[in-house]
Amino acid sequence: MKIVTRKKVIVISIFLSLLLCLVILFSITLGSVKVKPLRSIAIFFQSILGLKGVGTETERAIILSLRVPRALLAGLVGAGLSVSGAIFQALLRNPLADPYILGVSSGAAVGAIISILMGLSTFSIGLPLASFIGALLTIAIVFKFGRQDGKIHPNTLLLAGVIIGSFLSALIMFFISISQKEELHTIIFWLMGDFSFSNYEAIRMILPYIFFGFFFLYLRARHLNLILSGEEGALQMGVDVERLKLISYLFASLITAASVSVCGLIGFVGLIVPHSVRLIFGPDHRLLLPSAALIGASFLIASDTFARTLLAPIELPVGVITAAFGGPFFIYLLRTRKVVKTL
């Protein structure tokens, strides 16, 4: 029967988690430096168990300090963007919404660019921190102007977000036009999304936002379903709609801010993953949120793996891959929607 039960959520989550593990293992076996697949996996498991032995010093460094953190970070960001995209689509009652629609990304970009221009980006934590602060300021400003009489009206919020986003885009273009050549390269790569600076520091920095953000949003998954068929109806059923919208806005924005601060603006994931998951598993948030998180994580890890291996040693921006593969796949899902839905 087409209803979401606890059992169904658990079974599907376990299945998707296994898939995610496979994708992670696959990702750490590939790279511009050849390390044999089985050896890569052996190194990975050894380090988890705290053992040493297999692999040279270089091989271990490549696997453990480059590929593993990169895969984990891509997974976190993929999960974060997918979940916040799903939430924004529900909150704004707009299927075209994505995590960047309310200007959080532009705020993050302004922060990041300022830090690059000031030379802060050489400190590992400088750029993410500046970009996170830029995003937080934007969240606060959009929230201030996006409400009327203390209430969130989806359309007002959307307008405020889009307008503030456009203003920030103007700032971004201004900064780009005054920046030097070397800075320009860093800026452009950041704007297109880039995992090449991944490290455990960044993972530690964003993990709490994404983990707790997901947790608090998931507690309200059932109520999110109710507002999809009208706020008044949800209110009549006993849902505290204003609180729900406030929490959705804040946590989805925080997740977005944390995600973009470590890797720049990776497009498309937050739009396409929630929709694809809806087409496969239905729109119920109790199943949608965990599935979107797990599928989003797998999708972004896989995309990033392609981005760094396709033309190795040249690295493509991961945004190119997410759009190039995600777009056609999404169209395919849309076309075969009826078939998918009967599953």
Binding site residues, other proteins, CB under 8 A: 1-6, 90, 93, 95, 219, 221-223, 225-226, 228-230, 232-233, 235-239, 278, 282-284, 286, 341
> How far apart are the C-alpha atoms of 68 and 246, rounded to whole Å?
35
Least distance (Å) between residue 229 CB and other proteins: 4
Sorted by sequence, the CB contacts under 8 Å of residue 335 that are 6+ apart come out as none
Q: Which C-beta is closer to other proteins: that of 2 or that of 204?
A: 2
Helix (H) or strand (E) holding 118: none
Using DSSP, state whether 117 is helix, strand or coil. Answer: helix
Least distance (Å) between residue 91 CB and other proteins: 11
Q: Which C-beta is closer to other proteins: that of 233 or that of 327?
A: 233
Q: Which C-beta is closer to other proteins: that of 201 or that of 232?
A: 232
Sorted by sequence, the CB contacts under 8 Å of residue 181 that are 6+ apart come out as none
Least distance (Å) between residue 123 CB and other proteins: 43
Q: Which C-beta is closer to other proteins: that of 37 or that of 230?
A: 230
> How far apart are the C-alpha atoms of 121 and 49, rounded to whole Å?
34
148 bridge partner residues: 151
Least distance (Å) between residue 283 CB and other proteins: 3
Sorted by sequence, the CB contacts under 8 Å of residue 48 that are 6+ apart come out as none
Q: Which C-beta is closer to other proteins: that of 9 or that of 265?
A: 9
Phi then psi for 148, rounded to 5 degrees? -125, 135
Using alpha carbons, select from 279, 281, 261, 253 the residue that is nearest to residue 331.
279
Least distance (Å) between residue 31 CB and other proteins: 39
152 bridge partner residues: 147
Q: Which C-beta is closer to other proteins: that of 39 or that of 153?
A: 153
Least distance (Å) between residue 159 CB and other proteins: 19
Residue positions counted in the chain: 343
